[in-house]
Amino acid sequence: MSRVFITGSADGLGKLAAQLLLQQGHSVVLHARNAKRAKDALAATPDAESAVIGDLSNISETRSVADQLNRLGTFDAVIHNAAVGDRERKRITTQDGLPHVFATNTLAPYILTALIQRPKRLVYLSSGLHRNVNTTLADLLWTKRKWQGSEAYAETKFQSVLLAFAIAQLWPDVFSNSLDPGWVPTKMGGPEAPDDLLEGCRTQVWLAVSEDPAARVTGEYFYHQKRLAPSPAARLIATQDLLLSQCRKISGIRLA
């Protein structure tokens, strides 16, 4: 039995992944951005061990999530599922002065990875949209460009792959992978999304707990339990290092 933490598990793919893990006999800790959503998450997934609370767009609250988790002990796997989508039509700025989509989708997984006691496996959710973006990390915070919500979202999904691959290089004793869950009909994906919702959560669960040799790998990108080629730029060590450096500078938190 594995012990797994899932960010953004109050609804959508995170909730489905938690339910699937529990059906398989694993232990799960949930996450929600506020107390009401945590209560609702536990009601929807009553066999979960507990839920931690914190808004991942806020650096201080993300630190608090890591502290809550460390008090609970160690985890076998962490699934970085939480994200905001591509519908922010203007640059929404967080309390820390960052674009909301970057703070939630890129910086929070970096902070949690840096601060949570190191698990055996790390899973980062990305998107097929990561292949068609600015890969230089220039203007990471969109202070110079005219805001484009869909492009900003897709850039964070490229950064998710970069982070997974960077960790795979830094921590060879950890299985660190990224995946595309498909375009599924969640609140983010919308009702017109054509992919199967349940199939969308299977790969993250498989990567988090399976003993299948195909899942016990690191530095790979998956879609529906099959390896896919990511953007070639995600394999560039210099770009991976640049993302870690930028996140360290922005957050003030060093990843060992």
Q: Is 223 within 8 Å of 199 (Cβ atoms)?
A: no
pLDDT at residue number 182: 72
CATH superfamily of 3-251: NAD(P)-binding Rossmann-like Domain (3.40.50.720)
For residue 70, how many C-alpha atoms fall within 13 Å in the half-sphere facing its CB? 13
Active-site annotation holds for 110: no
Question: What ranges do the domains of the chain cover?
Answer: 3-251
Tokens matching residue 27: 């232990």
For residue 81, give Cα distances in angstroms to 8, 31, 32, 186, 233.
Answer: 6, 10, 11, 13, 22
pLDDT at residue number 189: 47
pLDDT by residue for the chain (256 residues), tens only, comes to 999 999 999 988 999 999 999 999 999 999 999 999 999 999 999 999 999 999 999 999 999 999 999 999 999 999 999 999 777 888 999 999 999 999 999 999 999 999 999 999 999 999 999 998 989 999 999 999 999 999 999 999 999 999 999 999 999 999 999 999 976 545 554 455 456 667 778 999 999 999 999 999 999 999 999 999 999 999 999 999 999 999 999 999 999 8
pLDDT at residue number 197: 67
Q: Is 48 within 8 Å of 30 (Cβ atoms)?
A: yes
pLDDT at residue number 214: 98
Phi-psi region of 14 (alpha: psi -120 to 50; beta: other; left: phi over 0): alpha
pLDDT at residue number 138: 94
Phi, psi dihedrals of residue 59, rounded to the nearest 5°: -60, -45
User: Catalytic: which of 153, 187, 221, 249?
Assistant: 153
112: Cα separation from own chain's centroid: 10
One-letter identity of residue 224: H
pLDDT at residue number 188: 54
Active-site annotation holds for 157: yes
| 3-state SS, residue 60 | helix
User: Catalytic: which of 15, 110, 157, 221?
Assistant: 157
pLDDT in tens, 175-197: 999 999 976 545 554 455 456 66
pLDDT at residue number 183: 60
44: Cα separation from own chain's centroid: 21
